[in-house]
Structure 1
């Protein structure tokens, strides 16, 4: 048995980024407008899909699929009102604007990373893919850009009115703030913290079995680790203890932080933890929330990752749950 506690083997898919957000430039309109003609624009539709080269979908490059940004000058001489500044990379500014695939777009099947394929619009040598299902297929730069773009898109979709007086709002700081036209209140993009915890038994350092559960709305055989939102006035560790107790009736201890990943669906950040529980602890799934919970061995998990399990389907590779489970499966007890 090992003496080393397991750790994540790499960054979660949506934690990857190479872009400098250049926060100070959001209040420097002269600089951003001057560089607009040479900037690049990600177009994102109302479903969160953005175009990528079609051939890259069929044959994913070693470094991942790149996005297919447009030349900013094609949208006008100045950034449109709805443009959101994403940051700078390799000397170019990157922005996000709403767009949509052509109405006569065909469809192409893209591996969704959950053991199933998803249909994506395809036209003019491009496929429009979405972050939640296909984020792990993107290269590092594209993953960071589209994650930020999707977070801002979801926030603006809900930010048309002031939370104080109900007045209409308008955008400021090139997409990074809104201001009420009636009372002047400013608001900024929100992120809701949620914990996600891999619970294993107390045999050895890393345990011999991991706790998995499934929600009623999930397809048969699909399981994951447990997660939940942090409540007001609650610590992260307290949330871990409460969520595991509420969802499966198990007490945990030795809570340890693993890593984090933004999850902009619509505005979360997933804070990954691991914890220990008594081996063979009785599981009592919460009515209406958890359809089934089970202890799974490392061998069962390895078979699922190898695609040879008939009884277990794991989370998609875009999720932090995938990275957590893979790290545990590769570790020694």
Structure 2
């Protein structure tokens, strides 16, 4: 897909400067520059500014927060200056008037490509640090290393790295129809493409076929890759695929789905126009909506 990287959280060309993660002196020099900036999160919510319809990721001078004992994660360089991220306590208030904490799901579609990539990276890596404070090998406390991209165990020497969990999400078609489903507890009328975590020893194609069969009882033949999306809730990589259904009868697994149905292209167009009384379009910014729009516009090839 020529348009694949237009998906929310897609690559913005950020210079992640991975070579500096192992260069403590280089990182220290970069952090001491007046242009060093910090992105702040509280409970996974980034600090933003600007109007509700066009929010911007707030950046504060690193020097203003250096004395607070925060653990900084190096995100990369913007225009030659370093950008870091840090998590503040849950009761923290925005450091400046006019700025606010925002649910990333609510603002992700309105952020610029660069802000979205930075926010997703910061949220995922900081969440990993919060849940991996102890060594999985010996149980002793670990500490941050490599600019926040590694945790080291001083007791046994084991090194731990941030993880990303691959998830397949599938645009399954049968003629003019597309398969959608809804999970229990979702808002009324919300449907999306089927999705599921990949398992060890499984190919992407195998995961697509297995998940659709397990959740909806539909057999899938040919499978192809379309696009990907980092999904920091908390740390997934959505692998957008298309698949051709070999069967049409639906048998829903009630442990996975509340309902599933085939939706004709014409009806899906009304869904995205907000004219369908029973089905709502996927959340803005989610790869499901992106893939469905590309399908409706015949831009999948």
8 A Cα contact 1:16 1:143, kept in partner = no
Take 2:230 and 2:203, find their aligned partners in 1: how far apart are those partners?
A: 19
8 A Cα contact 1:18 1:140, kept in partner = no
8 A Cα contact 2:283 2:289, kept in partner = yes
Corresponding residue number in structure 1 for 2:48: 52
Take 1:169 and 1:69, find their aligned partners in 2: how far apart are those partners?
A: 29
Kindly state the Cα deviation for residue 8 of structure 1 after the two structures are TM-superposed. Answer: 5.0
Higher RCO structure, 1 or 2 (CA under 8 Å, sep 6+): 1
Equivalent of residue 198 in structure 1, options 146, 166, 171:
171
Q: Within the alignment, does 1:215 sit opposite 2:183 as a pair?
A: yes
Corresponding residue number in structure 2 for 1:94: 83
- The structure-2 alpha-carbon separation of the partners of 1:51 and 1:33, relative to structure 1 and needing over 3 Å to count, comes to same
Corresponding residue number in structure 2 for 1:66: 56
8 A Cα contact 1:151 1:264, kept in partner = yes
Q: Within the alignment, does 1:252 sit opposite 2:252 as a pair?
A: no
Corresponding residue number in structure 1 for 2:38: 41
The equivalences for 1:212-251 within 5 A come to 212-251=180-219
Ranges in structure 2 where 5+ consecutive residues have no aligned partner? none
Ranges in structure 1 where 5+ consecutive residues have no aligned partner? 1-5, 106-121
Kindly state the Cα deviation for residue 269 of structure 1 after the two structures are TM-superposed. Answer: 0.5
8 A Cα contact 2:8 2:287, kept in partner = yes
Take 2:123 and 2:59, find their aligned partners in 1: how far apart are those partners?
A: 15
Take 2:19 and 2:215, find their aligned partners in 1: how far apart are those partners?
A: 43
8 A Cα contact 1:19 1:89, kept in partner = yes
TM norm structure 2: 0.92
TM norm structure 1: 0.84
Q: RMSD of the TM alignment (CA)?
A: 2.3
8 A Cα contact 2:4 2:228, kept in partner = no
Q: Deviations over 1:29-52 (max 9, x none)?
A: 111111213200001001x11222
Matched length: 298
Partner SS, residue 50 of structure 1: strand
Kindly state the Cα deviation for residue 278 of structure 1 after the two structures are TM-superposed. Answer: 4.0
Kindly state the Cα deviation for residue 181 of structure 1 after the two structures are TM-superposed. Answer: 2.2
